[in-house]
Structure 1
Amino acid sequence: MPDGLIDAFWAYENALVTNDLEALDAAFAPGETTLRGDAGGLLVGHDRISSFRGARGGAPIRTITSIHVRVLSNEYALIVSENEPRSGGRGLVTQLWARHADADGWVVESAQVAGAPAAMNTAVWRVLGNPLVASTDSDGGALAGETVAVKDLFDVQGFAVGAGIPEFLAEAEPAHSHAPAVAALLATGASVRGIAQTDEFAYSIAGKNVHYGTPPNVAVPGAIPGGSSSGPASAVALGHASIGLATDTAGSIRVPASYQGLWGLRTTHGAVDAGGLLPLAESFDTIGWLTRSPSVLRAAAASSLDGDAQQPVEPQFVISTELLFAADVAMQGAVVDAVGRLEADGLIGEVGVVDLGDTSGFFDAFRTVQAAEAWRRHGDWITAHPGVLAPDVASRFETASTVTAEAESSAREVLAAARTQLDDALAGRILLLPSTSSTAPSVGADPDEIDAARAATLAMTCVAGIGGYPALSVPLLEVDGAPAGLCLVGPRGTDLALIDIAAPFVR
């Protein structure tokens, strides 16, 4: 047995128990080739592993039951250890240890962690079944065999809405019937797999929930999933469901779709019956879906959209340089490259540049009206339950509580003029822009970094909300190995047409 190897192993285990981040960092090999994998994916590089640990808040308490050592050379050894978590079950950890010249003794170069199998991931699901609700279709509808993750804002008969907050759930009454959007999917052949988590009151686009945890981003391990439709998005990306029934007020479908490499549709405002839905800001709230394929997305959308009200659209595309420059430089480059490929492949004609006019006050007006409506809807409950919300969500509601009637009225006037301005500038053409300002930030990113990404993203996503337009996030972009969405914003009533146009984009 090499000198110091077992001592290094136990030092690492003790650091896990005490969540000694400095010691844990020192136990893993420095550099960009160090590996750590688990059911959530693979982290590559010491810094990404360190960031993951810092955001995790400690590892589950466990007892080591056996250690198996295979010495490979004087410099390398493999250790496989079995453990019993305090919560039950059994776990397995495989580590490649190395004696590094630039480290103090033995360090881990690669680790694979297999925890005790969970009955379900409660960061993704609030309630899960097999199915939770069976399809009501007996004729082999278009969605036969598909499964749905329902965002925890929709009524599902026999279950209460929790809106991402345990205290709200405890006081809520079970629904007497399904929300129309749920019933439509059931009638078309799909079954409900479960009720999936959301950010608190859906007032966030990060996907982090202090009560239930952060759903995993399987496309970018260690990164936030995007919200507020984080649960449905992660369920679809993980393969736990094929359809995420979700909502989008300021980007809550488009953001997780972009961060996790999914198709996501925000529908024309008012095009889908919003009965049985807990609102956030009804002037902008829309219903939509997240899927892994355009065909399933189209079938899901067709189940709720009125086909007679849907309109064709000429595939004429434009880009706003002002909106494009709101994204980071890497995202700008990815959009330009993608548009160039689509033009070269003959999938779109020459893309023009559109001048949207002065949009400087659009976002502030959008945010003011959204905040005023959110406070009217939830302010009384929040006031009666101080300290329940996470600091970032609580801060937004605190700001919302200060919006005066005069400020709201003025903002609505700005939005009415903005809607006309956008209609005139776009003139029935399809606007192309990034779905998000960047790829998914790390779970352990500084809050200021996440806020900056949020603000830049909302400056782009609010355009669809202001115009009441449908917006489709297409998983077409890639930046440094991470997925991102190209967003198509079309005229009102062209929801299905956007899917048909974009379906050939991804091969």
Structure 2
Amino acid sequence: MPPIIDSVNAFTQFIPPLSIEVKNNSLKGYRFAVKDVFDVKGFRTQAGNPDYFAQIAPSVKTAQAVTILQEAGAILVGKTHTDELGGSLFGLNEHYGPPINSYSPNCVPGGSSSGSAAAVAANLIDFALGADTSGSVRAPASFCGIYGLRPTFDRIPTTGVLPISPHLDTVGVFARHPDIIAQVLDVYGIKEQREFSRLRIIPYLVNSLEETLKQSFQEKLTEFQGLTSSSSPFILDEETLTQWSTVIRTIAMYGLWNVHKDWILKTTPTFGKLISERLKLASSISTEEYKRALLQQKEIQTFMDDGLEPEDVVVFPTVHDIAPLLSSSLSHLKDFALKTSRHTCVAALSGFPEITLPLRNVNIRGCFGMSFLGKAGEDVSLTTFASKAHSILYGKKSL
């Protein structure tokens, strides 16, 4: 295979051909990369921070999620950029620079799985792994105009992946066609599938879009009406989603600080502005606040499980807007992240799978994502549904 020329600043490290015992050839010929929070034997994990990279020892074992893919014949070609410690949404790493968003070069690529999304969007690899705690696969997919799946919680092993929260962390997959994601899921033993018969739209998240995006979203949604036999609203109002966004930020930030606080306090590493502010806020969250948030998460899981039937597919905008400009102010990015969390919290807190379908050519400023969400275990059902939607929008070809 020809060498990869990293034209979009996606990669942190290239991995030379490794001697792997291939157990089957399900993914033979596919090249993939992983966010640099996944351990690869013999390589150090960068985690988006040069001080962390300098102090960490080479990994003694490869992350389980990576090994499974290699044993299926997929070729690991490298590790990709991430926001520092996986703790931001935009891919604006002050140490290494942002990966280039091929679809919208003046916009952020999204994060924290920025390099994985950028590499797939630039057609450098066939698919990539990211890690999604509170939106780190779905937001970059929306911004870069590709598919991104956050699977059912705990379906893909996270052993060997730098953690943020054991209650939220999920290994996700990027690709330019949902059928490739389905092939990856099959290798992980995720095979269950059913036909969705009812489309459930979240009105508040659609109506809160800027008017031109709202119109485009509704037009595309109309094209998908024939994929189910009925549709009805799934009511999550502003008050509910604002509360849920507080819950997810509490759980995620408490986890981020407690995973790294000993190292931070001992070595005083240098951080960029975005993660510095986030860590400062995270350090102020009490154990009592964290425990309350975990109890609220359980209530949310019950609410979602009771509110949806197995034949339901929920649809909503992946985020509230197209990708912010690279030149955006810090205050704008903070406000953007807060609004986005009302979208990304639904799957993250419930543990339900969500796939992002890129809506290209809906806005001259950039790409935009439409999300489909199903109940726990409906991962393959979602990729199949997304594949049908892809055929309506783009025909048989990959993006």
TM-score by length of 1: 0.72
Higher relative contact order (CA 8 A, sep 6+): 2
Find the aligned partners of 2:279 and 2:211 in 1 and give their Cα distance: 32
Q: Which amino acid aligns with 2:369?
A: G
| Counterpart pick for 1:268 among 144, 149, 152 | 152
Matches of 1:128 and 1:298, distance apart in 2:
26
- Cα-to-partner distance string for 1:271-295 (whole Å, 9 max, x where unaligned): 1111111101121110011011122
Per the alignment, residue 126 of structure 1 pairs with: 12
Once the two structures are superposed, what CA deviation does each residue of 1:397-452 show, in whole Å capped at 9, x if it has no partner? 11111111221122222222122122222333211011111111110122222222
In the superposition, relative to structure 1, how do residues 145 and 456 fare at CA in structure 2: closer, same or farther (>3 Å)?
Answer: same
Structure 2 residue corresponding to 1:504, chosen from 375, 388, 395: 388
Q: Report the AA paired with residue 299 of structure 1.
A: Q
Unaligned runs of 5+ in 1: 1-117
1:479 to 356, 362, 377: 362
Aligned to 1:221: 105
Structure 2 counterpart of 1:332, from 214, 233, 254:
214
Q: Which amino acid aligns with 1:416?
A: K
Partner SS for 2:264: helix
Letter in 2 for 1:300: V
Cα deviation for residue 331 of structure 1 reads 2.8
The change in CA–CA distance for 1:264 and 1:412 in structure 2 (over 3 A counts) is same
The answer to whether the aligner puts 1:258 opposite 2:142 as a matched pair is yes
Amino acid across the alignment from 1:151? K
- Partner of 1:36 in structure 2? none
Q: Within 1, Cα distance between the matches of 2:19 and 2:220?
A: 41
Equivalent position of 2:287 in the other structure: 405
Q: Which runs of 5+ in 2 are unaligned?
A: none
Distance in structure 1 (CA, Å) of the matches to 2:198 and 2:339: 26
Give the partner amino acid of 1:296.
Answer: I
Structure-2 change in CA distance of 1:253 and 1:119 (3 Å): closer
Greater displacement, 199-208 / 167-176: 167-176
Q: Which amino acid aligns with 2:316?
A: L
CA distance in 1, matches of 2:98, 2:125: 18
Maintained 8 Å contact 1:356/1:425:
no
Q: Distance in 2 between matches of 1:209 and 1:270?
A: 28
Q: Distance in 2 between matches of 1:444 and 1:133?
A: 40
Q: 2:340 aligns with which of 457, 472, 480?
A: 457
1:158 partnered with 2:64: no
SS in 2 for 1:270: coil
Relative to structure 1, the CA distance from residue 138 to residue 367 in structure 2 (aligned partners, 3 Å threshold; closer, same or farther) is closer
Sequence identity (%): 29
- For residues 452 and 326 of structure 1, do their structure 2 counterparts lie closer, same or farther at Cα, with a shift above 3 Å needed? farther
CA drift of 1:187 comes to 1.3
- Counterpart contact for 2:152–2:353, Cα < 8 Å: yes
Q: Does residue 352 of the first structure (1) align with residue 232 of the second (2)?
A: yes
Hey, what's the Cα distance between the residues in 2 that align with 1:339 and 1:387? 47
Alpha-carbon contact 2:9-2:98 (below 8 Å) kept: yes
Amino acid at match of 1:249: T
The structure-2 alpha-carbon separation of the partners of 1:196 and 1:322, relative to structure 1 and needing over 3 Å to count, comes to same
Match of 1:434 among 286, 297, 317: 317
Which residue, out of 56, 61, 66, partners 1:182? 66
Task: Give yes or no for contact 2:70–2:76 (8 Å, CA) kept in 1.
Answer: yes
Q: 1:98 is matched with which residue?
A: none
Determine the structure 2 residue equivalent to 1:45.
none
CA distance in 2, matches of 1:327, 1:278: 34
**CA distance in structure 1 between the partners assigned to 2:62 and 2:361 by the alignment:** 38
2:182 aligned residue? 298
Of 186, 194, 197, the residue aligned with 1:315 is 197
User: Per-residue displacement from partner, 1:96-143 (whole Å, max 9, x unpaired)?
Assistant: xxxxxxxxxxxxxxxxxxxxxx974583111124x544664275x221
Question: Quick one: which amino acid aligns to residue 450 of structure 1?
Answer: L
- Provide the rounded CA distance (Å) in 2 between the counterparts of 1:479 and 1:446: 25
C-alpha distance in structure 1 between counterparts of 2:274 and 2:264, whole Å: 14
Q: 1:378 to 1:199 in 2, by over 3 A?
A: same
* Residue 453 of structure 1: how far off its partner (Å): 2.0
Distance 1:459 1:121 in 2: 34
Letter in 1 for 2:122: L
Is 1:370 the counterpart of 2:256? The answer is no
- Partner residue, 1:86: none
How far has the Cα of 1:195 moved from its partner?
0.8
Q: Which residue of 2 aligns with 1:37?
A: none
Distance in 2 (CA, whole Å) between partners of 1:464 and 1:240 is 29
Choose the corresponding residue for 1:211, options 67, 75, 95.
95
Give the Å deviation of 1:179. 0.9
Distance 1:235 1:468, change over 3 A: same
Letter in 2 for 1:394: S
Say which of 22, 30, 36 aligns to 1:137. 22
Q: C-alpha separation between the residues in 2 aligned to 1:338 and 1:252?
A: 24
Cα distance in 2, alignment partners of residues 281 and 327 from structure 1: 30
Q: Give the Cα separation in 2 of the matches to 1:253 and 1:391.
A: 22
Query: Displacement, 1:462?
Result: 0.6
Counterpart secondary structure, 1:264: strand
Q: Check the 8 A contact 2:353/2:375 in 1, yes or no.
A: yes
| 8 Å contact kept, 1:152–1:195 | yes
RMSD of aligned C-alpha atoms? 2.0
Select which of 287, 297, 303 maps to 1:415: 297
Q: Verify the 8 A CA contact 2:178 2:383 in the aligned structure 1.
A: yes
Once residues 6 and 196 of structure 2 are traced to their aligned partners in structure 1, the CA distance between those partners, rounded to angstroms, is 45
| Aligned residue in 2 for 1:468 | 351
- The separation in 1 between residues aligned to 2:371 and 2:8, in whole angstroms, is 30
Query: What is the aligned counterpart of 1:194 among 69, 78, 90?
Result: 78
Which protein is bigger by CA-based radius of gyration?
A: 1
Change (3 A) 1:472 1:134: farther
Shift of 1:223: 0.9
